[in-house]
Amino acid sequence: MPEHTAAADFAALLRELKDRSGLSYGVLAKRLHMSTSTLHRYCNGDAVPADYAPVERLARLCKAHPEELVELHRRWVLADAVRGRKGAAAAETSPEEAGSGTGPGQAASEAAPPAEAASAGAPPAAPADADTGADPAPTRRRTRTAVLAGIAVAAVAVGVALAVGLPGGGSDGDGDGGRHRPVGAAGVTAEGTAPASSSPPSSAAASPSSPAKDTGPARTPAGSAPAGAPSGEGQKSGVPVTVRAEPYAWESPCSQRYLADKPASEMKPPPLEEGAAAWVAAHGAVSSGQQYLRLTVQGTGPETVVVDGLTVRVAGKRAPLAWNDYAMAYPGVGCGGGVQTRAFAVSLDSARPSLTPEPGNEDFPFKVSESDPEVYYLTASVSAYDVDWYLELKWSSGDRSGTLTVDDEGRPFRTSGNKGRPAYEFPIGGDGWVPEGTTKLE
């Protein structure tokens, strides 16, 4: 879909919701904690938000219907994907290559030392001060470019060596394998598309003190392009579908809670939804009582892909965390979420957790393509355990089929029960967390 069309369709629906609300740009921008000019750019199609969270908050402020929320998310996905393709295409051509016409092969040959050139059968390079009748300036420029290219190659090689040598993808800090880094996109792997090169999610990643458990056969990198990648990249690896997971989405502020192993005096105020991932990472927090996932599934090409189903896999179960429980809602602030289509629920307390459609929702299978993505909303609840879990998405397209593993960037999702835990809330205008239920509303 052309960029202007995707962005224009997205902006048109935003403007329709804004106009229908009767609220001015200034009022909406203040409630969304953004500048009026930024909101203008979104509604005029001059810019596409990098995250969906502020878009959803704007839609809810404008009292969008559930069907409109789904359609708005679909248009945002398409506009964001086109923007991603544009950025990737721009990054492929460097300024030097665009201006000089010098290809990578030429740069490599110029970077070779005289001795290597001689061993390859090439004549030795003339000294820089030789009288060749040509302007020495281009030679100096090429030599400088070759030196810089050599330095860049060496830096990349050192970086790769360090990344390979360090556990947990290069983390040399506290040994938690990067468990507490900010997240927000799915780690996606597939079966049967490449030689085995990675391990399945395990409870050890989320709980160093617990023994590793056998979680089934190893899953290999799918090689599927992210949602914003050029069409066809996923097809090259045999995977015609991509999945983007938002593990810290909120159904509503009132429903979201997190457990953290810190006293209330050391906790930052509740974040907005778009800042939830960073807040969780900063505090080493875990979803409390339930976790709300938003999954965007999109084809990588025009052909139809059937999403046959989602299976819940448990990587580990332990006693619930004995941490403090923090509510994200400010007392006195109205809460409420719309009824989502494609909504599912799962109880992680079950011996064999499985997804069930929410009342009024259809069950799998569903169809997707590049221009027609699907958005699934999953509510995972737990009370008696601390659970590591992930999802397996089964797909088929023509005579091809496969399974994608969807997790939290290579780690299982983690959700813990919160029964009996000290609970805290953050009053409006307050300067710290207080025990829940002690705030008096005026």
Residue 167 pLDDT > 80, yes or no?
no
Q: Same domain for 265 and 381? A: yes
Q: How many residues appear in the chain? A: 442
Is the model more confident about 395 or about 147?
A: 395
Q: Is the bond preceding residue 365 a cis peptide, omega within 30 degrees?
A: yes
Within-domain flag for 108: no
* Residue 85 confidence (pLDDT): 67
What is the radius of gyration, based on Cα positions, of the chain? 26
* Residue 92 confidence (pLDDT): 54
Answer for the pair 374, 305: CB distance below 8 angstroms, yes or no. no
CATH number for the domain spanning 38: value is 1.10.260.40
Is the model more confident about 374 or about 180?
A: 374
Instruction: Kindly state the DSSP code that residue 395 receives in the 8-state scheme.
Output: E
Q: Same domain for 353 and 238? A: yes
Q: Same domain for 252 and 388? A: yes
Identity (one letter) of the amino acid at 47?
A
Query: Buried b / exposed e across 186-209, counting CB within 10 Å, b at 16+?
Result: bbbbbbebbeeeeebbbbbbbbee
* Residue 161 confidence (pLDDT): 42
- Could you tell me the CA-to-CA distances from 335 to 125, 295, 338, 345 in Å, in that order? 74, 23, 10, 20
- How is residue 26 written in tokens? 């200034």
* Residue 123 confidence (pLDDT): 42
Q: What is the mean pLDDT of residues 226-235?
A: 38
Residue at a domain's end among 69, 89, 109? 89
Answer for the pair 244, 296: CB distance below 8 angstroms, yes or no. yes
Sign (positive or negative) of CA dihedral 101, 105, 108, 110? negative
Overall number of domains in the chain: 2
Q: Same domain for 82 and 194? A: no
Within-domain flag for 426: yes
Is the model more confident about 252 or about 394?
A: 394
Domain of 65 in residue numbering reads as 3-89
Within-domain flag for 321: yes
Rounded to two decimals, what is the model's pTM? 0.55
Residue at a domain's end among 34, 64, 89? 89
* Residue 160 confidence (pLDDT): 40
Residue 395 pLDDT > 70, yes or no?
yes
Q: Same domain for 203 and 68? A: no
Q: Same domain for 72 and 221? A: no
* Residue 70 confidence (pLDDT): 86
Question: Which pLDDT tens digit goes with each residue over 22-35?
Answer: 888 888 888 887 88
Within-domain flag for 156: no
Which contacts (CB < 8 Å, 24+ apart) does range 199-202 have? 200/315, 200/405, 201/315, 201/388, 201/390, 201/405, 201/407, 201/410, 201/411, 201/412, 202/315, 202/316, 202/388, 202/412
Within-domain flag for 225: yes
Q: Same domain for 326 and 430? A: yes
Residue at a domain's end among 89, 115, 134? 89
Within-domain flag for 172: no
